[in-house]
Amino acid sequence: MIAASLPETGTLMDAFYSRDVSYDGLFYTGVRTTGIFCRPSCPARKPKRENIEFFPTARDAMFAGYRPCQRCRPLEAPGEVPAWLAGLLEAIDEAPERRWTDADLRAHGVHPDRARRWFKAHHGMTFHAYARARRLGTALERIREGDRVVAAAFDHGYESLSGFNTAIRELVGSSPTESRAVTTVVLRRIATPLGPMVAGSIDGDICFLEFADRRMFERQLKTLSRRLRCRYLPGTSPVLDTLARELDAYFDGRLSRFTVPLRVPGTAFQRAVWNALAEIPYGQTRSYADIAESLGRPTAVRAVARANGDNRIAIVIPCHRVIGKDGSLTGYGGSLWRKQRLLELERGAR
């Protein structure tokens, strides 16, 4: 079962092609050929049916790699965008790959708290999550551009997904030495009830699975690229298909242990921690201190916490099952609300 329920496809198609304004806000349409997403009433020329897909929220469309349409402006419901925010939205549209800071917001005359509250109230995410979605969309659009793009990797020194823009190279332009040294990770988007995830596979193993809006998403991909000396390609593979089915069963309460093979490059200590995480039974939790004790390193609680945060295969390696010694949820890269939902799911509170 995937994230949010939508009307059946025929209803969505009819509403979109008839520009039915009554469906505005109820779903959004991504256009594969242009990489944009629109509200149902968009006045632009309608694409062919095989080139569109539907999303329950604008957030889902953005993390699938689509950018907002400049004609119907799906993020700006009529009368809802205040004057103090309009200039900032225009600046983001002009440079979607930019990494925004609180200082940048203040330079545009917008207080960071005010922007956070507005985006949270209107789009269910903070301003910085919105900005990350735009950067991610820019990168995924280039990955999805498809048949001609055969190498998209993070260069050393790039700190954001805009690194994709300069890292994409054609395979024929690589030297023979580079071609032999670089491996390929296939990336695929997977919808889940807790939001879209991006999964990666290499030679029949899963090596990456993260929520698309995770704060450390960019750095995790960059670290993986460095450790595996890999390039990223869009597509799918048998093991990614299996992972999608297993995630569907997991969220439906029908699967308690994943079977997909994993590739987890890291230090010896990190791998030991990740192995310990994998042994935490479904529906149970352990503290960081428990993990450190099980490794024979009782004083290494902070190191365990760091290795836990460095896990690049969420859910399958269940770092969400590690909590504070006092029972608090503590940190989780995919956001504490997701950690809470995952634990509730595993305890039977679906």
Is residue 69 among the annotated active site residues? Answer: no
Residue with tokens 């024929």: 172
Q: Is 153 left (phi over 0), alpha (psi -120 to 50) or beta?
A: beta
What does the chain come to in residues? 350
10 Å CB burial of residue 274 (0-12, 13-18, 19+) is: buried
Please check whether residue 325 is in contact with residue 314, taking contact to mean a CB–CB distance below 8 angstroms: no
What is the SS3 assignment for 261?
A: coil
Give every CB contact of residue 2 below 8 A, 6+ residues apart in sequence: 191, 192, 193, 248
The rounded Cα 107 to chain-centroid distance in angstroms is: 29
Instruction: Strand 197-202: give its sheet, edge to edge.
Output: 205-211, 197-202, 183-190, 230-234
Cα–Cα distance for residue pair 344/321, rounded to 1 Å: 11
Cα–Cα distance for residue pair 82/80, rounded to 1 Å: 6
Give every CB contact of residue 191 below 8 A, 6+ residues apart in sequence: 2, 3, 60, 197
Q: Write down the catalytic residue from 72, 207, 230, 319.
A: 319
Residue with tokens 């009830």: 193
The rounded Cα 97 to chain-centroid distance in angstroms is: 16
Cα–Cα distance for residue pair 187/218, rounded to 1 Å: 14
Q: Write down the catalytic residue from 38, 69, 207, 230.
A: 38
> CA-CA-CA-CA torsion for 193, 195, 199, 205, nearest 10 degrees?
-30
Residue 281 DSSP class: P
Is residue 72 among the annotated active site residues? Answer: no
What is the SS3 assignment for 15?
A: helix
Instruction: State the helix-helix crossing angle for 217-228 and 127-144, rounded to 10 degrees.
Output: 40
Cα–Cα distance for residue pair 30/128, rounded to 1 Å: 22
Catalytic sites, residue numbers: 38, 319
